[in-house]
Each structure stands twice: as C-alpha cells, then as structure tokens.
Amino acid sequence: MTQALAGQAGQAERARLRVAIAGASGIGKHQAKWFALEGCEVAALLGSSLETAEQTRTVLRDSFGINARPYDDIRAMVAQERLDAISVCTPHRLHYEHTMTALKAGLHVLCEKPIVWDNARPENHLLHEARRMVEEARSAGKVLAVNTQYLAALQPYQEIYRRRWGDFFPLKSLYFEMESKGGRSGPNEHEEIWVDLASHPLSLLVALMPGSSVVWESLDCAVGRAHVACRFLARDASDNECQVIILLRNVTEGTPARRFGMNGRIVELAARNDARGIYRTYIRSNGSEEEHEDLVHTSIKRFISAAQGRGEPLAGAEAAVENLKLQLEILRRARRV
C-alpha cells in the first residue's frame, strides 16, 4: 500500500496542510492515510498515552511512510506544532474538549460522529456543547466538519437512480441498514449501537429533507441487545411525508452489510482494495457493481478543500447539531426489547 500511496500522491492536488490526528489507533489510522494521499503533512498524533501514540506512529510509518510526532496532551501538541487542521477521532466524550482546544488554537477541525456524546451528561448539556462548538468555529473563522461519510454515497446513488428509475423526488421513503462489528473498540450492545451508528442514516435525512421534522406520534424505535429497529415519518415544510426506516445491528462474524435507498430502490455498499491497492467503495444493484472513491476519502477531500476556502465540507457542523438533536430525541423515546 505504501507504493500505491506514493504513486497516487504524485497525481493528487498538493494540499499542503499540516494535520494532526487525535486518536489514531482506530479510524484515525485510515484518515491519516487519506490525508497523506491528498498531499497533507500528517505531522502529529495524539494518543491516550505516549506508549499507544508511539505504537501508532510505528504502524503509520511502516504501512504508509507517515512520520508523525507522538503526543499524549492535546494542548502541548497544538502549542508545539505549526498545525493547520486536526481530525478528532477520540472517544465521543472527548470530542468537545479536543475540538474546542483545537478551534481556540486556530485549527480547522474534522470531528468523528456524533459531534458530542457523553452518557454522564444530560441531553440539554450535550446540545449546548454542540452549539458552542459551532459558535467557536464561526467566531474563529474556521471549518468545523463532522465525518458522516455515508453522505458521500448520495451523489453516485442518485446518478444510478436517475439512469435506471428516473426522478427520485418527491421523496416518499428512506431506508438505511447498517451492520457493524462489535467488540472492544466497536459498538457493543443496546444504546451503544444507536450512539455509534445512527448519525449516518440521520445525516442522509437532514441532507435530503432540510428543515423537516419527525412526526413523533409515528415513531417506533425498538432497542435490543444487538440491534436497533427504528421507523417514523418525517414531514417537510410543504407537508410532504417520508417514511424512514433505520435498521442497525451488531454482528460478530462475516462481512457487515450496508444498504440504503430511496423510494424502495435499495443498493448495497461494499468496500475493498482495487487492483492498485487503493481502498474503494462499490455500489451494487440489480446484479451490477460500480466503483467509486472511498467514502471517508471523499469526506477528507471535501474537508481539505473547505479548509483552503474552496467549497463546503461534506457535513458541516450546523447539520451535525440537527443530527444530534434527532439522535438524542429518538433514543429518549425508544423502547427497550
């Protein structure tokens, strides 16, 4: 993969941002790869300890040729490095602290989803923190984006839809099914599955029906030990209604399924390396398959462009706050089975 990265980087637009990855032992490793591919300098890593940060540094160096200095203190990192941006991939409860520290230091921020979450804090406190993050980014003149990368599948999906089935508006139904591997570092049981995964389908709803509201009397959300099944109607300002179905599961074996669609036209998402060793997304429907850029890669490219003043991020912070409001309220009204 190192050679493939080097070859692709030579063709990529040189976006010379100096970037740090906070929490690089999981999804952060993959983000570091894409930032490097896009010509950024991954200059620093933040770990829960210097030992874990050093271990991740070794993995990134050996796998992708990335040499980043390890830290275990975000304030020391932003003070000592001349950073332009940071990707916050730390646990949910640390998103607020790390994002606000970075924004106050003048950095653009890409934050993992949800924008904030802490089971020890009430809903109104979380929403207050999320809004403060938005206000801080606006005041600092910096980009704050959230990595709900499944939004990147909308454009190719809609192109497929138009070719095969015609116009997809008015939107009458939205379906999203997602399985994820549980375990020590993944979503485990009950509400944790909703917290970790629900931002993805809700981001599609916020994007497709901006300003819409949930018809709360239609909500049926059942939270089980290893699954969440959620159904409700969403209504926009013109009184158009859309039936939303969200199915989330924790699986321990096999390849997790990822499916979504509008108006009953469901496609399956898969991901694997292409012939050059580059990780790609594949959209399958009706026995055919189309290759597209990896969804996280697209999210990071859009973030880099926004940080350089060229366009908007894939998912902005204000949309992430709307997403959080829905996620919190639906979970509050859910029933446990």
DSSP secondary structure string for all residues of 60-94? HHHHH----EEES-HHHHHHHS--SEEEE-S-GGG
**What are the tokens at 2?**
């190192």
Rg (CA), the chain: 20
Q: What is the pTM of this model?
A: 0.93
**What are the tokens at 165?**
């089935």
Mean pLDDT for 104-130 is 97
Question: By the 8 A CB rule, do 34 and 294 touch?
Answer: yes
* pLDDT classification of 284: cutoffs 50, 70, 90: very high
Instruction: Report the pLDDT value the prediction gives residue 186, as an integer from 0 to 100.
Output: 61
Taken in order 296, 260, 249, 328, the sign of the CA dihedral is positive
pLDDT digits (tens, 9 = 90+) for 160-184: 999 999 999 899 999 999 999 876 5
pLDDT at 245 over 50: yes
pLDDT at 256 over 50: yes
Question: By the 8 A CB rule, do 336 and 49 touch?
Answer: no
Cα–Cα distance measured from residue 67 to residue 91, given in angstroms and rounded to the nearest whole number = 24
Mean pLDDT for 42-56 is 95
Mean pLDDT for 63-88 is 97
Instruction: Compute CA distances 247 → 21, 185, 223, 314, whole Å.
Output: 31, 21, 10, 23
Mean pLDDT for 12-36 is 85
Mean pLDDT for 245-256 is 94
Question: By the 8 A CB rule, do 328 and 122 touch?
Answer: no
Mean pLDDT for 300-326 is 97
Cα–Cα distance measured from residue 199 to residue 202, given in angstroms and rounded to the nearest whole number = 5
Question: By the 8 A CB rule, do 96 and 128 touch?
Answer: no
Cα–Cα distance measured from residue 193 to residue 184, given in angstroms and rounded to the nearest whole number = 13
Q: What is the 3-state secondary structure (H, E, C) of 164-186?
A: HHCCCCCCCEEEEEEEEECCCCC
Mean pLDDT for 220-247 is 97
Residue linked to tokens 């950073």: 83
* Residue of 166, 195, 171 whose CA lies nearest to 182: 195
Structural domains of the chain, ranges and CATH numbers in brackets = 13-146 (3.40.50.720), 149-295+314-336 (3.30.360.10)
Instruction: Report the pLDDT value the prediction gives residue 182, as an integer from 0 to 100.
Output: 74
